[in-house]
Amino acid sequence: MVTKQICVGIVGRFEAHALAWLQSHSNFQVQWVKKLKDLKSPELLQGLVVRSDTEINEASLKGFERLQMVVTATSGFDHFDFAFCENRNIACYYTPDANITSTAELTFSHILSVARNIPLALKMGKLPDWSRSELLGFELEGKALSIVGFGRVGSRVARYARAFGMKLYAYDPYIEPELALQQSVELVGFEEAMRVGDIVSFHVPLTKETKHMVNRRTLEWISDDAAIVNCSRGGVINEFDLAEAVKNKNLRTIALDVFENEPLRPASPLLALPSASLTPHMASLTVEAFNKSSMLAAQKLVNFFDDKELSDKLPPLAPWYQS
């Protein structure tokens, strides 16, 4: 009996053990390249693994006539044109469980950073004169953390915050109240979350509902002594309105790992904020998250062509995405 050969391509960073595991399946012919354009004989490829820097749309997949599925080894999926994929009958998947810990830990790094003025302190530590009074921060114990989006990452951040003795609030219209109650979190509306939080941390996908949910109007709700942390999606925040709020001292400071345009452009008003903690979209950049996302993507490839049931299909059918 002749085994049917399945041709797949992997684009971008991929963990070596996951690649070896995939190649151990004798019916899989695997290409691993840096860029989509480097793939040979794209007309023969049936499956693809990508990351967020590879666009999945009509222009990028021109010539991929036999393509049946694409899996992105990321938790985000802004790089997919789902209308095109549906029209071409291309099944799409993602790996949202891979970077829960890495994103939650970076979020808490940023929470500590805004509490203790770490960006200013790092600069000052290299100067011959220290003006340490400028570094006066605040303790997290007893402070209010508002979590906007109480899903995989948001609930993990809440777990870390409890260890610091913080009071916990969450805004998420799509979760059951019992889930928040089990974690000693008080569910509130978005306006109240903004008003009560000493720190407001965002953990939402980018949808029509969340696009620029932080803007000039909603920033009026927040205390001028509060801070905003965002490790979810850059488009959740209107960056010009946010920078203006910090500049006018209507907000203590900000810590962001994601931006509407990446890398940040030289003219970005965020770069003029000395107290801001800005990191280059690094929430998933741990060895563990990289290994897990690679293996999960490889497993989804194999299971798809073995006609096994798969989780994490795109676009999500969850109410938060359909709204």
> Would you list the DSSP string of 54-78?
S-BSTTTTTT-TT--EEEESSS--T
Q: Residues 43-47: what's their mean pLDDT?
A: 97
Per-residue pLDDT at 319:
85
Per-residue pLDDT at 4:
82
**For 287-310, how does the pLDDT look when each residue is reduced to its tens digit (9 = 90+)?**
999 999 999 999 999 999 999 999
Q: Residues 34-52: what's their mean pLDDT?
A: 97
**For 62-119, how does the pLDDT look when each residue is reduced to its tens digit (9 = 90+)?**
999 999 999 999 999 989 999 999 999 999 999 999 999 999 999 999 999 999 999 9
Domains present along the chain, CATH in parentheses: 6-98+287-322 (3.40.50.720), 100-278 (3.40.50.720)
Structure tokens at 266: 């030289």
Name the pLDDT band for 2 (thresholds 50, 70, 90): very low
Name the pLDDT band for 318 (thresholds 50, 70, 90): confident
Question: Of 222, 95, 218, 231, which is closest to residue 160 (Cα–Cα)?
Answer: 231
Question: Of 51, 58, 16, 56, which is closest to residue 34 (Cα–Cα)?
Answer: 51
Q: What is the pTM of this model?
A: 0.93
The answer to whether the CB of 112 falls within 8 A of the CB of 137 is no
**21: phi then psi, degrees, rounded to nearest 5:** -60, -45
**For 10-23, how does the pLDDT look when each residue is reduced to its tens digit (9 = 90+)?**
999 999 999 999 99
Known catalytic residues? 233, 262, 281
